[in-house]
Amino acid sequence: MKYLALIAALSAPLPALADTDPADWEAVTAAAEGQTVFWNAWGGSTTTNDFIAWVGERVSEDYGVTLEHVKLTDTADAVTRVLSEKQAGEDEDGAIDMIWINGANFAAMKDADLLFGPFAEQLPNWAFVDVAGKTVQTDFTVPTEGFESPWAMAQVVFIHDTDDLAEPLGSMQEILEWTAANPGRFTYPQPPDFLGTTFLKQALVDLLDDPAVLSEPATDANYAETTAPLWAFLEELTPNLWREGRAYPATGPAQLQLIADGEVDLAISFSPGEATAAIANNQLPPTARTFVLDKGTIGNASFVAIPYNSGSKEGAMVVADFLMSPEAQLRAQNPEILGYGTVLDMEALDAADRAAFDALELGVATLSPAELGTVQDEPHPSWMTRIADDWAERYGVAQ
């Protein structure tokens, strides 16, 4: 990616902290009152957009912070904006105050000192986060070191319409065999959409005998041999895809719409509760269900980070902290709202909050934690950067 190369070329040191110490919460909230936070976040889901709007209402009520959702189609656009401001010397009051971020985008910004922090582990609600049981201190193997704050857990699941695909498929090889017998009934979002690149990563993890090699950076020495099974798999799969792989849905919601329209029977999701939420919202038929692969599926956390030149760092910290609150986490896990996994440790909560989570009905199409099985680690972000570029050369099509 071109912007990653530009970031790597920039190495001037930047301020590590804002004037307000993140550990001084009273001072943070006092400074945050009246601030406007421009949160650059993916805008491709109505349910997610509605949740962000609710967050804005709540932080306005409690802290006097105004939250503006800047809807993105690609997080790299926000990264490029911060990079451009740095190049222009705009080191104060930048256009972006917070970014929904992870993976290669986080690694690139962290390496180039484009992020404010550390701040996350000084936030009050960090005390409730499940540090021991969930990957909230690394992001695609990269240590977060307090430069981003977690707010949702995700794991790959496959959504299927049981009227047409009755039984789960246990591996990528079984998916390949099923598509050969049922051509045109499966697709995935077109990379570089994050869900499309997730499908490529999940395929590679499942196809490799030992995916541990993916925890190390991709190099010229290991890349071709390691990814060879993926390209062999895609060579067989692509002709069997919806529209024979000559077109792809642009986003995850567009992919789900194909199930609703009866055009495909299988879709990938990064939210175990998405199918239940979509059924509740009449976006999927009531016969939709989810499954995971026999060897497990990739899981990760969603984070928010604050650019180094935000003029509303305190307001952004208030929003980040609220996102980790039991109130926000409970709402996000509700399958009729989002169906996201929580970052919280239930044992750290008081009895009332634990009871609220225990009482939450996850829904007919949502797998239990035990049913979700093994959580596979995300590859190092360097793998996805190269794989996405190679996929575009081999299979990319105009939208």
3-state secondary structure of 208: coil
pLDDT digits (tens, 9 = 90+) for 222-247: 999 999 999 999 999 999 999 999 99
**Contact between residue 379 and residue 204 where contact means Cβ atoms under 8 Å apart:** yes
pLDDT of residue 275: 93
DSSP tag of 33: T
φ/ψ of 223, rounded to 5, equals: -70, -50
- Alpha-helix runs per DSSP H in 112-249: 172-181, 194-207, 223-237
Q: What is 2-152+301-366's CATH superfamily? A: Periplasmic binding protein-like II (3.40.190.10)
pTM of the model: 0.81
Q: How many angstroms separate the CA atoms of 210 and 31, rounded? A: 50
107's tokens = 């690694």
Give the angle 346-350-351 at the CA atoms, nearest 5°: 90
Name the token pair of 368.
């239990």
**Which single residue is written with the structure tokens 């793998």?**
383
- Tokens 């962000």, located at residue: 52
CA-based angle 287:295:259, to the nearest 5?
25
Cα gap 302→171, rounded to integer Å: 25
DSSP 8-state assignment for residue 237: H
Q: Are 252 and 189 in contact (CB under 8 A)?
A: yes
Look at residue 15 in the predicted model and tell me its pLDDT.
40
Kind and range of the H or E run holding 69: strand 66-72
Question: Cα(145)–Cα(231) distance, rounded to whole angstroms?
Answer: 35
Query: What's the confidence (pLDDT) of residue 18?
Result: 43
User: How is residue 68 annotated by DSSP?
Assistant: E
Q: Is residue 365 classed as helix, strand or coil in its secondary structure?
A: coil
Instruction: Tell me phi and psi for residue 196, to 5 degrees.
Output: -65, -45
Domain 155-299+376-395 CATH class label: alpha beta
Question: Do residues 145 and 331 make contact, with C-beta atoms less than 8 angstroms apart?
Answer: no
Question: Can you give the pLDDT at residue 19?
Answer: 60
- What is the residue extent of each domain of the chain? 2-152+301-366, 155-299+376-395
Task: Say how many residues make up the chain.
Answer: 399
List, for residues 360-399, the tens digit of each pLDDT value: 998 899 998 889 888 898 999 999 999 999 999 999 865 4
Alpha helices in the chain (DSSP H): 2-9, 25-32, 46-63, 75-87, 104-111, 172-181, 194-207, 223-237, 252-260, 274-280, 313-323, 326-333, 351-359, 369-372, 381-395
User: What does each C-alpha distance from 389 to 31, 192, 225, 275, 386 come to in angstroms?
Assistant: 43, 8, 17, 30, 5
Helical pair 223-237 and 194-207, crossing angle rounded to 10 deg: 110
What are the tokens at 384? 């996805």
Q: How far apart are CA 307 and CA 96, in angstroms?
A: 7
Task: Kindly give the confidence (pLDDT) of every residue in the chain, 399 residues in length, as a single tens digit, with 9 standing for 90 and above.
Answer: 444 444 444 444 344 444 689 999 999 999 999 999 999 999 988 889 999 999 999 999 999 999 999 999 889 899 999 999 999 999 999 999 999 998 889 999 999 999 999 999 999 999 999 999 888 999 988 999 999 999 999 999 999 999 999 999 999 999 999 999 999 999 999 998 889 999 999 999 999 999 999 999 999 999 999 999 999 999 999 999 999 999 999 999 999 999 999 999 999 999 898 999 899 888 999 999 999 999 999 999 999 999 999 999 999 999 999 999 999 999 999 988 888 899 999 999 999 999 999 999 988 999 988 898 888 989 999 999 999 999 999 998 654
In the chain, the amino acid numbered 85 is E
- 3-state DSSP percent of the chain in helix, strand and coil, to 5: 45, 15, 40
According to the model, what pLDDT value does residue 9 have?
42
Give me the DSSP letters along 79-96.
Answer: HHHHHHHHHTT--SSBS-
- Residue 172: the pLDDT is 98
Residue 17 confidence (pLDDT): 43
| Distance in angstroms (rounded) separating the CA atoms of residues 38 and 316 | 8
Residue 322: CB partners within 8 Å, gap ≥ 6?
A: 55, 58, 59, 62, 63, 125, 328
Q: Say if CB 62 and CB 319 are below 8 A apart.
A: no
Q: Residue 235 in contact with residue 325, Cβ under 8 Å? A: no
